[in-house]
Amino acid sequence: MTIRVLAAGDHFVLNRLLIDALRREVSVDLDVRELTLPWPIVPFGRVAEVDEASDVEDELIEALRGVEICVTQMAPLTERVLAASPDLRLFCVGRGGPVNANLKAASRAGVAVTFAPGRNAAATAEHTLAMLLAATRRIPATHGDLAAGTWSSDYYSYDRVGPELEGNTVGLVGYGAIGIRVARILRGFGAHVLVYDPYVNPGGLDPAVQKVELDELLARSRFLSLHARATAETTGMIGAAELAALPPASVVVNCARGALLDYEALCDALDSGHLFAAALDVFPQEPIPAGSRLLTTPNLVMTPHLAGASRETAAKAAQIIAEEVARYTQSQPLRHVANP
């Protein structure tokens, strides 16, 4: 028996990665057709009732005719797509969360939706440390001066140099797959690591990591790095009061979700000099709109939501997806199903 599959990859999680992984892991015959989505050349956005998806409903509906399994990263699984795809039974999303899938509608239609937790954990942890060091050591600003032909010796002035990681305290808000890796790297720098995560059992922490309440973490941390998920509980959790509670000349890093941080308050804290620097990979609105204070606030390092971007991330996403398809074809329980 041959199972028809749609590989709806993009310019990051390539179709060839998805198809190669399927061929390695799946033992039954697959009839694979392909659809290439425009992300990241064309940014994702809201599509009908789902978020962070490529706007390709029409193309997807056509490509899903007679298809039982769809493997993708950015394809929108909307009510309209589900209604037009009666043969679909498995929709595998190669992301940490299937925000581009309407889970309630998928459940009503009998479609299982899977996701790929941890696929970008190593890449995001590494990027977090790169951003922290770039902001603290003024690497983008000093590079820009040199590239423009200016040798700015005053960067060596005491008031303009940043703190070291060794011997200082770093506070991590969130201790999941990414936070754990960040803590591990930080220990190699000789930093003290504090964690605020109400869902973590202290007995499961590394002995070198201390779990504390948020107010204590803020008061003791020279560096603050955010690694929580965006929920109703965590939205806006770091605002003006929390930033003011950090020691003077602290550094804030957010490579998690823009909703966690009050960006107006962050700009205020940078403008006033209370914060030494900040580094951001995620934003409340993406792309950053023209006229945003983020574009003119000093001592701020930014990257365009690419902390999880590595070749290994794309390969891991394809591998996790292929393993789920293999379980499905062997009538085994799915490991990472979002709508059980």
Any residues with CB less than 8 A from the CB of 223 and at least 6 apart, and which? 132, 136, 163, 165, 168, 169, 170, 171, 191, 250, 251, 252, 253
Do the beta carbons of residue 243 and residue 266 sit within 8 Å?
Answer: yes
Planar angle of CA 44, 83, 28, nearest 5 degrees? 85
Instruction: Give, in order, the Cα–Cα distances in Å from 200 to each of 156, 188, 196, 197, 304.
Output: 41, 22, 9, 6, 30
**Per-residue buried b or exposed e for 83-109, using 16+ beta carbons within 10 Å of the residue's own CB:** ebbeebbbbbbbbbebbbbbbebbeeb
Helices and strands, number each (H, E), in the chain: 11, 14
Catalytic center residues: 257, 286, 305
Do you find a cis peptide bond into 287, omega within 30 degrees of 0?
Answer: yes
d(CA 301, CA 313): 23
Rounded to whole angstroms, the Cα distance separating 204 from 174 reads: 14
Q: By the 8 A CB rule, do 67 and 87 touch?
A: yes
